[in-house]
Structure 1
Amino acid sequence: MKKSYTLRAEAHFESGEVDAQHRQLTKAMSDLRRRIDRYDDARAAEELEEFIQYLNSYFLYHTFTEEKLMFDNQYPGDAYFEHQREHKSIVLDLLKLMEGETPRNHLRITATAPKERARQLIDGFEQWLHRHIEDLDRKLLEFLRTKGA
């Protein structure tokens, strides 16, 4: 039976849709972490493959949302391009994982056992997402507040 990762409607907090998407990404990783511990390596490998596909597609949706906000609100060029580069870098890591390759930018996946690979992916993506939110997304939110957006 294939696990379906779906977008859940959530209440929007202060920064709206972007925060809801951050919460969804965090929840999906937390859900995978709980499930992975219950599975044998064969099932963990299937779950990891499905999750990487979900994470890649959902994260592309998320980056589109953020980049559209930046574009629509005339976010300054240097900050916009820095933010966009960061998005592209993590997306490239996710694409490499989907192709069975080793990512080189932010995600350091060195394990070969499926459960440990899943844990490394979750840990690495959570760390990247936290840094991204605390730095680039915080700057974007502050800018949007000055624009009244």
Structure 2
Amino acid sequence: MQKLKYMILLASLSIFFGACPYESTVPIDSPQIRIDSQLLGDWKDSKDEKEHYQIKSLDSFIYEIIKYNKDEREETKYNAYISVINTTKFLNLWEIKSDQSNSTYNLYKIEKMDSKLLIISEVTENIIEKFTTSEALKIFISENMHHSFFYNKEKMKLIHY
């Protein structure tokens, strides 16, 4: 019986901590913030040694991010750019798919603590509002970004190496 309770607890925690970021059909805005050269290079997740990220510049505004998973020996490619709302930086990120299907944007708050540490907070998937314009999305974020419920509880810490 104790084992069953333990398994149920683990399953509940994995669902809770396995949350996904909010998906939007529109970005916060168009790419306007130039590449920050301190973000370029190799980054590792402080909690998950199996995953690491390589960040390159695709052009003057867009990052190319490659996520490597050591266990599965696979890589996932993304493009991203930064938007700023009231001095807070957000990442508009979309997966590069081989079938070239329409991508959705995942939104993250990013905090550069110094040149070696990034804190990434996912905008929660629990937001039910859908937006058809970037302007409406940006207003919504501006009005709600200071609430704790706006982000998933688990933050990712990336360390530059």
Max radius of gyration: which structure? 2
Give the TM interval when normalised to the shorter protein.
under 0.3
* Structure number with higher helix proportion: 1
TM-score (norm 1): 0.25
